[in-house]
Amino acid sequence: MSRTDYDALMSRKGEIMKKAVGIDYSRFESGSIAFDFEGMMREVGYSLDEIRKIQSHSGVGNTPLYELKNLTALCRKTAESDKGARIFLKDEAANPSGSFKARRAAVSVYHAKKMAYKGVIAATSGNYGAAVASQAAMLGLKCIIVQECYDSEGKGQPEIIEKARKCEAYGAEVVQLTVGPELFYYFLQLLEETGYFNASLYTPFGIAGVETLGYEISRQMTELIGRDPDALVITTAGGGNVSGTARGLMKAGAHKTKIIGASVDLKGLHMASDKQFNRKSFTTGHTGFGIPFATNPDRSDVPRSAGRPLRYMDRYVTVRQGEVFYMTETLAQIEGLERGPAGNISLAAAFSIAREMNRDQIVLVQETEYTGAGKHIQPQLSFARDNDIEIRFGNPEEEVPGESIILPEHPCLIRAVDLDLNNIKRSYIRNCLFGHSSKDLTEQDLIYMAEETKSNRETVSETIRTLEEGK
């Protein structure tokens, strides 16, 4: 790949994306900071009821919701006498490809078929690839999945390799790359060469597909106990999970439920580093994606991401790798539900959060994922050990990402750590201001940033003032 070839392809990025998604993103731009987010979301063109029908035709959605009574009892043993909320779980592993991402894929692939595309492409190392491949197989479309899979020595994480195997089982072609910036180049190249639909995680189609999850949670909880949950814990990486689920809850009228984002703490590890790529045990749902995508959502593979988590989060917490692995084993051994570790990030956070809440309150874990082969905790821990990561029981607070994984020696040591959401919003506003003078900001810009940060115009103006003063 020469620099000339790279620059030439990148110069056509907007044109390629417009053909591959069918959305002219420029229509929603204001020429300044603001853009018409809700106008972009309306480009989906399907109502919530229509999306539910689309998903039901391919076996997606209407997944079971359980009360985790044994886990709640364990939580209460580690909490103060009047604390310990009831813990509920939405079992998204029941979807055809084994995760909630089937909801995103169902809408994207359906739309691609409707618009007469011959195939679909997605750039992902996660469960979304399997979801797109599964849905493409059902609708008779060709499918290409582009993965960052290996470091420069050809070593791949067992979880990513497992997902490649699953994609291939559905008949998809999997393009595996080493970690680095070339992924987007090859992704664009494939879109241009094939003319396939860009089934990106971050299009309005993908986020609208997740809205059914939030809607179902509200309906099922109301039928089960007569009201919505007090808190909903959602694993966050690129922000689409939080955005879609929260939007669906609001469409169901569940405006009082607190939205809590959760990520695995991988502080200090760089996600694009060849040397650090294999020193983490989670390929998604971690701070290496969660923080950058929250503070700069438009770093994705479409011009404007529809995953914008700061619009919806009331709280953002982290848990540690050892806590998630421990909770994965606990869920299997006391609730009889064996699910993949990455899907249990929010469960580990919810276990801790439930100890803060009253016994008559309800915290709901929004998703699970399938497990098996490389996604099981044993091959993941073995891979970590092979990479000289220390693994032991103890206090998870002593865990150092990239150096150790510490399984809690007692469940009372599982403690979610709050991130400063106001500081994250401040970073988002700082990124918005890059290349712009505050003197040139319009009222529309200020209102937009307030909506993006779930705040108000006055808070945004004060944040801008302090940023300019260097505080």
270-294 pLDDT tens trace: 877 888 888 988 888 999 999 999 9
Partnered with residue 385 across adjacent β-strands are none
Q: CA 228 to CA 225: how far, in whole Å?
A: 8
Q: What is the CA radius of gyration of the chain?
A: 21
3-class DSSP state for residue 260? strand
Q: What is the pLDDT of residue 265?
A: 97
Q: CA 301 to CA 198: how far, in whole Å?
A: 9
Is the pLDDT score of 12 beyond 70?
Answer: yes
Residues 299 and 293 sit within 8 Å (Cβ to Cβ): yes
Compute the mean pLDDT over every residue in the chain, rounded to the nearest whole number: 94
pLDDT band at 348 (very low <50, low <70, confident <90, very high): very high
Question: Cβ contacts of residue 372 below 8 Å, gap of 6+?
Answer: 162, 340
Q: What 8-state DSSP symbol labels residue 358?
A: B
Residues 260 and 232 sit within 8 Å (Cβ to Cβ): yes
Q: What is the pLDDT of residue 148?
A: 87
pLDDT band at 36 (very low <50, low <70, confident <90, very high): very high
In the structure encoding, which two tokens stand for residue 148, read together? Answer: 């960052």
Q: What tens digit of pLDDT does each residue of 209-235 get?
A: 999 999 999 999 999 999 999 999 999
Which of 101, 158, 98 minimizes the C-alpha distance to 124? 101
Residues 408 and 399 sit within 8 Å (Cβ to Cβ): no
Residues 174 and 214 sit within 8 Å (Cβ to Cβ): no
Phi, psi of 298, deg, nearest 5: -85, 30
Q: CA 102 to CA 62: how far, in whole Å?
A: 12
Cα angle at 209 between 203 and 210, to 5 degrees? 100
Q: What is the mean pLDDT of residues 379-399?
A: 96
324 exposure class (CB count in 10 Å sphere: 0-12, 13-18, 19+): buried
Strands 258-264 and 404-408: unpaired
Is the pLDDT score of 1 beyond 60?
Answer: no
pTM of the entire predicted model: 0.96
Q: What 8-state DSSP symbol labels residue 398?
A: G
Q: What tens digit of pLDDT does each residue of 169-178 get?
A: 999 999 998 8
Instruction: Report which of residues 87 and 14 the model is more confident about.
Output: 87
Q: Half-sphere exposure of 437 toward its Cβ, with a 13 Å CA cutoff?
A: 2
Is the pLDDT score of 122 beyond 60?
Answer: yes
Q: CA 108 to CA 21: how far, in whole Å?
A: 9
Instruction: Report which of residues 272 and 400 the model is more confident about.
Output: 400
Q: What is the pLDDT of residue 301?
A: 85
Residues 141 and 119 sit within 8 Å (Cβ to Cβ): yes
Q: What is the pLDDT of residue 357?
A: 98
Neighbours of 166 (CB within 10 A): 25
Q: What is the mean pLDDT of residues 7-27?
A: 90
Q: What is the pLDDT of residue 343?
A: 84
Alpha carbon distances (Å) from 95 to 90, 134, 247, 383, 403: 11, 10, 20, 28, 35
Is the pLDDT score of 127 beyond 60?
Answer: yes
pLDDT band at 6 (very low <50, low <70, confident <90, very high): confident
Q: What is the mean pLDDT of residues 297-323?
A: 95
Q: What is the pLDDT of residue 3?
A: 63
Is the pLDDT score of 471 beyond 80?
Answer: no
Which of 128, 159, 89 minimizes the C-alpha distance to 365? 89
Q: CA 321 to CA 399: how far, in whole Å?
A: 8
Instruction: Report which of residues 298 and 438 the model is more confident about.
Output: 298
DSSP labels for 33-51? S-B-HHHHHGGG---HHHH
Q: CA 217 to CA 235: how far, in whole Å?
A: 15
Is the pLDDT score of 180 beyond 80?
Answer: no
Strands 315-319 and 258-264: parallel
Residues 199 and 120 sit within 8 Å (Cβ to Cβ): yes
Residues 339 and 68 sit within 8 Å (Cβ to Cβ): no
pLDDT band at 2 (very low <50, low <70, confident <90, very high): low
Is the pLDDT score of 237 beyond 90?
Answer: yes
Instruction: Report which of residues 377 and 2 the model is more confident about.
Output: 377
Question: Lowest-confidence range among 1-5, 102-106, 107-111?
Answer: 1-5
Q: CA 148 to CA 160: how far, in whole Å?
A: 8
Strands 86-90 and 65-67: antiparallel
3-class DSSP state for residue 228? coil
